[in-house]
Structure 1
Amino acid sequence: MKKHKVKEVRNLTSSTFVVRLERNGMVFQTGQFVLVGTKGAVERREYSIYSGENDDFLEVLVREVEGGKVSAKLKKLKAEDTLDVDGPFGFFKFDPETFQNQKFLFIATGTGISPFHGFVKTYPELNYQLIHGVRFAEEAYDHADFDEKRIVLCTSGDKQGGFKGRLTAFIQEQEIDNETNCFLCGNSEMIYEVFDILTAKGVSTSNIYSEVYF
């Protein structure tokens, strides 16, 4: 475990924010996660790495959870504060050169967009489509960092997204090349539903990769 100084905390919504830390020599593969806690605290939480492999800083995307022992403390951080960071960990690693077919579909709910932000920051020329499901359009976390032609925002709570309704309803309507490499990240209910939709459309289970957030 290493100590990392906070460079800044950037608020995206009233409850969601990005913590930028000194990289402090950490080597990681995009898609991995770190364990983060305030200095000396017992409680730590897993956060996917939000920054790219080549960035000179380390970022995590955090949603404040009501009654959360870690997220509430992270929201109060200021520049020069110190966090305990352990890792990286995880098998949701991403290296496009290892895939024969170079077509990628990223499917995320809420802060599940975090690893895909890292994917695209690391590999900006990637042939991808990102489908992001949220309740409200204000939760389109840093969508400006993605190619606007490659991202669809699905909103279930307002009508400001590109698709009005749940992410699963949008995917049901799409034709998907069964050779596409599909990555799912978000809540378990979404992952189970999307897995069934994709396999029913002919996508092989070996082409589906998932990371469950909760």
Structure 2
Amino acid sequence: MTITMKPEVQIDTNYYRVLDIRNLTESTFVLQLPKSRFKFEAGQHISLSIKGDYQSREYSIYSAEEGEHLEILVKEVEGGYFSPKLKHLKKGDMVEIHGPFGKFGLDNPKRDTHKHVFIASGTGIAPFHSMILSNPGLNYQMIHGVRFATEAYERGHYDSDKFVLCTSRDDSGDFQGRVTDYMEQNQFDENTSFYLCGNSDMIFDAMEILKGKGFSRDNVNVEVYF
């Protein structure tokens, strides 16, 4: 008797179905995907494309290393090509991801000896959200710079006494002004490891401020968004 075996079905594990889109503001949302067997280190990013589309974009991973889902934080760019398409995805739609990429992450040799100060503008908070949720008990301070207090994305995920919201367009935050204004007006412990993520102008200014306060480049970890 001849037995004919069916060919094994190959599944492209780069494709993921959208589980949910969690709107945080009118223009900012969290895209939730299955975690599956995807492994990453907090701080890394992925390359994301929509099935059938020729373009892709890179996004920092927002979720914890051991989280139930894989999540990214996205701000819709007005007049942009890609982010509006992501915002209009529906549950069950397919996206393609590659990665993870990058070496931006927690300075593990200093994990328990230093305070970790995370400084972000806008959606630059995404990798820090992942690092903090992935490291319970971490001695940290999260300094988040936005225009309006409504842009304090999921602030409740952080310890209230370790989170500083800097608002440049209203006075509803913890500090009125930019994150760099806050940095200039405050002192930091000598045993501090700094992490900067966001727009390049903020990062360059922040690095100069830290240099002026006596911190060397070895104390500063950087991820530039644009």
Asked if TM exceeds 0.5, the reply is yes
Alignment of 1:201 with 2:213, yes or no, is yes
Structure-1 residue corresponding to 2:7 = none
Contact 2:111/2:138 (8 A) holds in 1: no
Q: Which amino acid aligns with 2:191?
A: E
Mark the structure with the bigger radius of gyration.
2
Tell me how far apart the structure 2 counterparts of residues 99 and 145 of structure 1 sit (CA, whole Å): 20
Contact 1:101/1:181 (8 A) holds in 2: no
Q: 1:179 aligned to 166, 181, 191, which one?
A: 191
3-state DSSP class of the match of 2:196? strand
Structure-2 residue corresponding to 1:135 = 147
Using the aligned pairs only, state the percent identity: 48
Which 5+ residue runs of structure 2 have no aligned equivalent? 1-12
Query: Aligned ranges for residues 1-214 of structure 1 at < 5 Å?
Result: 2-94=14-106, 96-97=108-109, 99=111, 101-214=113-226
Specify whether residues 98 and 165 from structure 1 end up closer, same or farther in structure 2 by C-alpha distance, changes over 3 A only. closer
Q: Which amino acid aligns with 1:131?
A: I
Report the CA distance between 1:179 and its aligned residue. 2.5
Which deviates further from its counterpart, 148-157 or 168-177? 168-177
Report the CA distance between 1:40 and its aligned residue. 2.3
Specify whether residues 201 and 148 from structure 1 end up closer, same or farther in structure 2 by C-alpha distance, changes over 3 A only. same
Q: Which amino acid aligns with 1:109?
A: S
Report the CA distance between 1:97 and its aligned residue. 4.8
Q: Could you state the TM-score of these two structures normalised by the residue count of structure 2?
A: 0.91
Report the CA distance between 1:64 and its aligned residue. 0.4
Report the CA distance between 1:67 and its aligned residue. 2.2
Q: Which amino acid aligns with 2:49?
A: G
Tell me how far apart the structure 2 counterparts of residues 98 and 168 of structure 1 sit (CA, whole Å): 24
Q: Give the ranges of 4+ consecutive aligned residues of structure 1 lying more than 4 Å apart after TM superposition.
A: 97-100
Q: Which amino acid aligns with 1:81?
A: D
Report the CA distance between 1:56 and its aligned residue. 2.1
The CA RMSD measured in Å over matched residues stands at: 1.3
Q: Which amino acid aligns with 1:185?
A: C
Q: Could you state the TM-score of these two structures normalised by the residue count of structure 1?
A: 0.96
Report the CA distance between 1:99 and its aligned residue. 4.4
Report the CA distance between 1:98 and its aligned residue. 5.3
3-state DSSP class of the match of 1:74? helix
Tell me how far apart the structure 2 counterparts of residues 38 and 194 of structure 1 sit (CA, whole Å): 35
